[in-house]
């Protein structure tokens, strides 16, 4: 299957082929299903409920399906997505090592990339931690969450970058790993920005989903 966007008729034809009964997708879930990989995932993880939270629930389950045994990479990919969104000023599109470098390292990364023969090894190791490098390599070769474009990458769907940026914010908020101003400061500056709408909405929904899981009582011991 190509990864080019699907038209509405192609989505319906695919759903008809995999279901004995009439299977439909509507709302945000159908919009996401224009990406063939997400359309397949929507079937793998179960037909999502129709509602405002469809897109976030689909990504929450779908990202885990894609990562599989490399699930520990999720938080590093989320950090990468957040840094890329902040650097680009929008949680969409392509990003480079320069975008991912922390402020203190950006000059060194840009200098390494600007050499007559770019020192990509130095730029790579300066911009990213070992865990982040491992996560990117796995996301390209195994889960295909990332694809190489020019001198950088893009997530397989623009909304994947928005979702993972929200994942980073929600995780830090629940874990208390960072001051509230740092966690929510970026979102506050973009509340009226339509390009950040998916991040803001997904952050709230992820907090709701995860808080619900934390509040759920543990199953009784089988013993």
Q: What is the pLDDT of residue 143?
A: 83
Tens of pLDDT along the chain (223 residues)?
455 677 888 777 777 776 666 667 777 667 766 776 776 666 666 655 544 446 787 788 778 878 888 899 999 999 999 999 999 999 988 999 999 999 999 999 999 999 999 999 999 999 999 999 999 999 988 888 898 988 899 988 888 899 999 999 999 998 887 777 778 888 888 888 888 998 999 999 999 888 876 555 555 554 4
The structure tokens listed for 129 are 């931690």
What is the distance between the alpha carbons of residues 173 and 162, in angstroms, rounded to a whole number? 17
The Cα-based distances of 150 to 68, 94, 96 in angstroms read 27, 9, 9
Q: What is the pLDDT of residue 23?
A: 66
Residue 145: enclosing H or E segment and its boundaries? none
Sign of CA pseudo-dihedral 197, 203, 209, 211: negative
Which residue has 């409920």 as its token pair?
49
Q: What is the pLDDT of residue 142?
A: 85
Contact at 8 Å (CB) between 100 and 84? Answer: yes
Q: What is the pLDDT of residue 112?
A: 95
Q: What is the pLDDT of residue 186?
A: 85
What is the distance between the alpha carbons of residues 210 and 205, in angstroms, rounded to a whole number? 9
Task: Give the HSE-up count for residue 186: Cα atoms under 13 Å, Cβ half-sphere.
Answer: 24
- Model pTM score: 0.77
Residue 212: enclosing H or E segment and its boundaries? helix 197-215
Least Cα distance to 91 among 166, 16, 141 occurs for 166
Is residue 152 helix, strand or coil? strand
Residue 2: enclosing H or E segment and its boundaries? none
Q: What is the dihedral of CA 11, 14, 93, 67, to 10 degrees?
A: 140
What is the distance between the alpha carbons of residues 141 and 68, in angstroms, rounded to a whole number? 13
Q: What is the pLDDT of residue 105?
A: 95
The Cα-based distances of 153 to 34, 96, 101, 150, 157 in angstroms read 21, 6, 14, 7, 12
């Amino acid at each position: 299957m190509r990864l080019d966007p699907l038209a509405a008729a192609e989505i319906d034809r695919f759903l008809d082929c995999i279901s004995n009964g009439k299977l439909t997708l509507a709302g945000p879930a159908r919009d996401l299903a224009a990406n063939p990989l997400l359309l397949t995932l929507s079937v793998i993880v179960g037909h999502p409920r129709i509602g405002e939270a469809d897109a976030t629930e689909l990504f929450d389950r779908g990202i885990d399906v894609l990562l599989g045994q490399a699930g520990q990479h999720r938080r590093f990919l989320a950090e990468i997505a957040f840094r890329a969104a902040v650097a680009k000023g929008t949680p969409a599109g392509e990003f480079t090592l320069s975008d991912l470098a922390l402020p203190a390292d950006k000059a060194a990364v840009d200098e390494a990339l600007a050499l007559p023969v770019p020192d990509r090894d130095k730029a790579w190791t300066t911009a990213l931690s070992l865990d982040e490098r491992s996560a990117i390599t796995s996301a390209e070769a195994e889960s295909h969450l990332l694809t190489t474009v020019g001198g950088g990458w893009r997530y397989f769907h623009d909304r994947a970058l928005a979702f993972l940026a929200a994942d980073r914010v929600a995780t830090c908020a629940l874990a208390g790993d960072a001051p509230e101003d740092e966690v929510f400061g970026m979102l506050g500056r973009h509340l009226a920005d339509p390009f950040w709408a998916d991040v803001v909405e997904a952050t709230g929904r992820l907090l709701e989903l995860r808080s619900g899981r934390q509040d759920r009582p543990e199953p009784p011991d089988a013993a």
